[in-house]
Amino acid sequence: MSELLEYIEKKQHDETRQGEALSVVATENEFKNNKHFYIESYGCAMNFSDSEIVASILSKQGYSVTTDVLQADLILINTCSIREKAEQTVRTRLHSFNQIKKKRKGMLIGVLGCMAERLKSKFLEEEKIVDLVVGPDAYRSLPDLIADAEGGQKGVNVLLSREETYADISPVRLDKNGVTAFVSIMRGCDNMCSFCVVPFTRGRERSRNPDSIIAEAQDLFDKGYREITLLGQNVDSYKWKGSESDSENENETIQVNFPQLLEKVALVNPLLRVRFSTSHPKDICDDVLHTIVKYENICNYIHLPVQSGNTACLERMNRTYTREWYLNRIDAIKKIIPDCGISSDMIAGFCGETEEEHQDTLSMMEYVRYDLCYMYYYSERPGTLAARKFKDDVPLETKKRRLAEIVELQNRHSKENNLAEIGKTFKVLIEKTSKKSDDELCGRSSNNRFIIFPKGNHKIGEYVNVLVESGNKAMLKGRVV
């Protein structure tokens, strides 16, 4: 119990990353009622966004959000299945919550998201550690499922949908900085990467009506938000076809692709910054890059996961592009957007990876010189194509050694890239107070540099120009000019 309380007191509010936990936080008693829910999200930014949809659905049922798990009548964990470590973390949390449940009569515990569909029988029947199991497309059914659980039945709905986008639900913003927010533009994934469970846990791709996206962006700006991140498993494949709401001809149909949507969001207001994640190397086109250049408020930053620098390994991963194709996209980014920040994902030790293939990954990193990289060693996920087709034959010690080499190289690049920014001035959106000092503020530049500077008379949500004076691999420091 003491470990759980210590965890709660040390809640993290940083950018969510795969395999790491992010406790979603909101002002307590925002919705007046005698029932409270507590929610944690694990994994990608999409899960964090989904938690805000869940919060909206529950708020309409009279639930108040709480950051104190000991006050909760309902505990929810929004889960990630992409890596084994994330699943192990969730199991540990569930067992901790069950210790609280024994002392709090009537408390319910639920699992949401990607683990829900894959492990529903284990959670409900074998381990008996949850009352609710709800998949990513079934959040509208939460009120009925909660009623079932309160009546002594297990609440289960893990059905996938080809239509659900939650476009009509206004998310409750759980991270109360009031400056940055996620906006989901599509759901699901059609890319059958052999290592990934997402197509099986989130279903097929479907894009959200662009009018609803623009309306949400406008609403956020009107409420004081100054940056949004458009979310999708593969934003570049966004495609919507339907009737234009303001068209004089009701039979007229329009099609909107991602570059067009990006432009529409940028035009909401020049003071509203726009980011997006995640791009797929096979789909990102020059039109996206030229749209970024056209609008100052579209941030010069692209997350472009490569996973491996070797074509044969990429083929086993079913990434549908080659090393040469990826490098062509990198060259295009650097040519069209010279100051663009670039980040990536890397997997060390995928099935059959040779030492030569690993060296190709390192040489890819040397060529691109990523500013940031999310790095892991391969973790086999049951049900994936890789689990069925390939042998997980790279020894764990080799995986860890290769990952350590990737991490070491990335740390060097991150530091060198940051130090190269000393003497430059960046427009920074102030996001929060520095963790180390109340006298310092921090925020990000357009190309995603994290910069800390003296507070002065400046406030969160403002734009300031900051001259960079020092830095390390993680951040820059400077002063407002």
Residues of the chain above pLDDT 70, percent: 90
With respect to residue 362, please indicate whether it lies within any of the assigned structural domains: no
Which residues touch 88 (CB under 8 Å, ≥6 apart)? none
As a whole number of angstroms, the distance between CA 6 and CA 41 comes to: 18
- What is residue 245's predicted lDDT score, i.e. its pLDDT? 53
On whether both 67 and 121 belong to a single domain, the answer is yes
Domain boundary among 241, 273, 299: 299
With respect to residue 269, please indicate whether it lies within any of the assigned structural domains: yes
- What is residue 251's predicted lDDT score, i.e. its pLDDT? 61
With respect to residue 370, please indicate whether it lies within any of the assigned structural domains: no
- In angstroms, the Cα distances linking 466 to 295, 360, 371, 424, 428 are 21, 38, 19, 8, 7
What residue has token string 């020049």?
A: 270
**Spans of the chain below 70 pLDDT:** 1-33, 124-127, 244-251
CATH number at 46 reads 3.40.50.12160
On whether both 112 and 258 belong to a single domain, the answer is no
The total domain count for the chain is: 3
Q: Are 82 and 381 in contact (CB under 8 A)?
A: yes
On whether both 25 and 149 belong to a single domain, the answer is yes
CATH number at 189 reads 3.30.750.210
- What is residue 127's predicted lDDT score, i.e. its pLDDT? 60
- What is residue 34's predicted lDDT score, i.e. its pLDDT? 77
On whether both 35 and 135 belong to a single domain, the answer is yes
Q: What value, to the nearest 5°, has the Cα angle with vertex 179 and ends 236 and 12?
A: 90
On whether both 21 and 86 belong to a single domain, the answer is yes
With respect to residue 380, please indicate whether it lies within any of the assigned structural domains: no
Domain boundary among 157, 189, 211: 157
On whether both 183 and 137 belong to a single domain, the answer is no
With respect to residue 286, please indicate whether it lies within any of the assigned structural domains: yes
- Token pair for residue 396? 């764990």
Domain boundary among 98, 125, 157: 157
On whether both 23 and 145 belong to a single domain, the answer is yes
Predicted TM-score (pTM) of this structure: 0.87
As a whole number of angstroms, the distance between CA 134 and CA 157 comes to: 5
Q: Which domain holds residue 117?
A: 2-157
With respect to residue 50, please indicate whether it lies within any of the assigned structural domains: yes
Task: Please give the sequence-ordered ranges of beta strands (E in DSSP) within 321-383, or none if there are none.
Answer: 341-348, 372-377
Please report, for the chain, how many H helices and E strands are present, in that order: 14, 22
283-287 contacts: CB < 8 A, separation 24 or more? 283/234, 283/236, 283/237, 284/236, 284/329, 285/236, 285/259, 286/332, 286/336, 287/257, 287/259
On whether both 54 and 186 belong to a single domain, the answer is no
On whether both 136 and 51 belong to a single domain, the answer is yes
As a whole number of angstroms, the distance between CA 273 and CA 448 comes to: 12
Q: Are 253 and 243 in contact (CB under 8 A)?
A: yes
On whether both 13 and 152 belong to a single domain, the answer is yes
On whether both 30 and 143 belong to a single domain, the answer is yes
With respect to residue 306, please indicate whether it lies within any of the assigned structural domains: no
As a whole number of angstroms, the distance between CA 261 and CA 351 comes to: 38
With respect to residue 181, please indicate whether it lies within any of the assigned structural domains: yes
Nearest-CA neighbor of 274 among 205, 221, 224, 337? 221
- What is residue 175's predicted lDDT score, i.e. its pLDDT? 76
First to last CA, the chain: 49
The conformation of residue 353, written as its DSSP 8-state character, comes to -
On whether both 37 and 127 belong to a single domain, the answer is yes
